[in-house]
Amino acid sequence: MTEILAKETPLRTRRVSRLLQLGGLVGRIAGEVLTAGAKTVAAGDRLRANDLLLTPGNARHVADRLSKMRGAAMKVGQLLSMEAGEYLPAELTRILASLRENAHPMPLGQVAKILESAWGSGWDREFRQFSFTPLAAASIGQVHEATTKDARHLAIKVQYPGIRESIDSDVDNVSALFRLFRLVPGDYDIAALLQEAKQQLHMEADYYAEAEHIAEFGRLIGDDPGFSLPVVDGSRTTTDVLTMSFVPGVPIEAVADQPQPVRDRVATRLLELVLKEVFEWRLVQTDANFANYRYATEQDRIGLLDFGATRRYAAGVTDDFRRLMHAAVTGQHGAIETQAVRLGYFREHDASQYRQAMCDMISTVATPVRHPRPFDFAASDLGRRVAEQAASLRLRRRYMHLPPTDLLFLHRKFAGTYLLCARLRAQVDVAQLVAPYLQGPTPRRAE
């Protein structure tokens, strides 16, 4: 057995105790507000409520408490940061961003208890080695590496106890916390996103469903030598434990140290995969977190991990998204606006300045697809330009509303893949990759 991480904390499973954890957070934030307010008055400055609430100290309190609670409490923060970050105040986005890879792992005893419940007493006798120090700890569960007596190398995802039962109440409690301290603007409706967060979390907590997604992706990818996926061990998979073959490789970011042709080849494969998921299969693993990819250097193969956040898309959604992409690439502003309304980015009665600003941002995002040569992700300032346009949109907040959650999850996939290509300093002919998908249905006219 290996040494347990010092940061480990047991997970409280009862609804009341989890609510009390948030109650303690309220007290900490209130104390921070009083301290910051006193300093502001002493300095002769004007008191502003948002400045007092969104202090660095409160940011640490919120992030640390949600990461300790894990589950829906942590996930709703992640979703707000990743799916709605462009639309929320920058201070709130910074608070939530630290939750993306910052869960506290469970202690050894809690892990052993879950495994005994799933596999029965004496389960450890079937293993030559089992590492109680997790390879990764996220919002729903943590992953352990093990080797069986018959030399099978496994990755075992163990779900935190009580997660499924606490999803709905956690989301409601965290939502109330954000509203109490006005961390989300009062005129900004996140109800649809929070409802979607509940559904998404229930889906991610269903390990049998994730096992089916892994099998389906395996069939779709087939014998493509550029990718490897885990194979589920059905005999050791339960509602709380997902057991899979171990996918070897180094973190995908390590490819950044490879020669340019390798970086370009890996990035091209990743982008090709995204396009297939969205436009051919309409089955999308929506979490492009770097930790969900590995790279086997000798085999030149990308390992794909974590299929809990897999979503199916209706043909109408992906076709409308294709039409929007076609309009943005060909510079048809009227068609961009038509498709943006159809998809739900804004409404026809919204202010013309807001509609124009949103269309401009959509056009900017399509820059790599319009580029006539291999697009240099490292040299591009696209991220900065989109951020500036998003900040400009926030100034028109009274017109803003979140796009449908289906689109937000697509944003996460595309944005995460873009960031990974930038991390790899890749140069990819994106226009050539996307061109076949732009030959789909002719953009529809407004009815």
Mean pLDDT lowest for which of 5-9, 61-65, 415-419? 5-9
Residue pair 83/411 in contact (Cβ under 8 Å)? The answer is yes
The model carries a pTM of: 0.79
Q: How far apart are CA 100 and CA 262, in angstroms?
A: 28
CB within 8 Å of 258: residues ≥ 6 apart: 266, 297
Q: How far apart are CA 309 and CA 190, in angstroms?
A: 20
Tokens of 422: 């930038």
Catalytic residues: 287
Mean pLDDT computed over 145-167: 92
Q: What is the pLDDT of residues 383-404, one digit of tens each?
A: 889 878 877 776 655 556 678 8
Q: What is the pLDDT of residues 283-297, one digit of tens each?
A: 999 988 888 999 999
Share of the chain above pLDDT 90, in %: 49
Domain ranges for the chain = 15-103+165-188, 107-159+206-247, 249-447
Question: Tell me, what DSSP letter sits at residue 100?
Answer: T
Q: Is the torsion defined by CA of 404, 409, 410, 415 positive or negative?
A: positive
Most confident of 10-14, 103-107, 224-228, 355-359: 224-228
pLDDT score at 62: 57
Q: How far is CA 102 from the centre of its chain?
A: 13
Q: How many CA atoms lie within 13 A of 368 on its CB side?
A: 28
Q: What is the pLDDT of residues 73-91, one digit of tens each?
A: 566 666 665 555 555 555 5
Tokens of 123: 């389960």
Name the CATH architecture for the domain at 107-159+206-247: 2-Layer Sandwich (3.30)
Q: Can you list the positions of beta strands (E) in 64-111? A: none
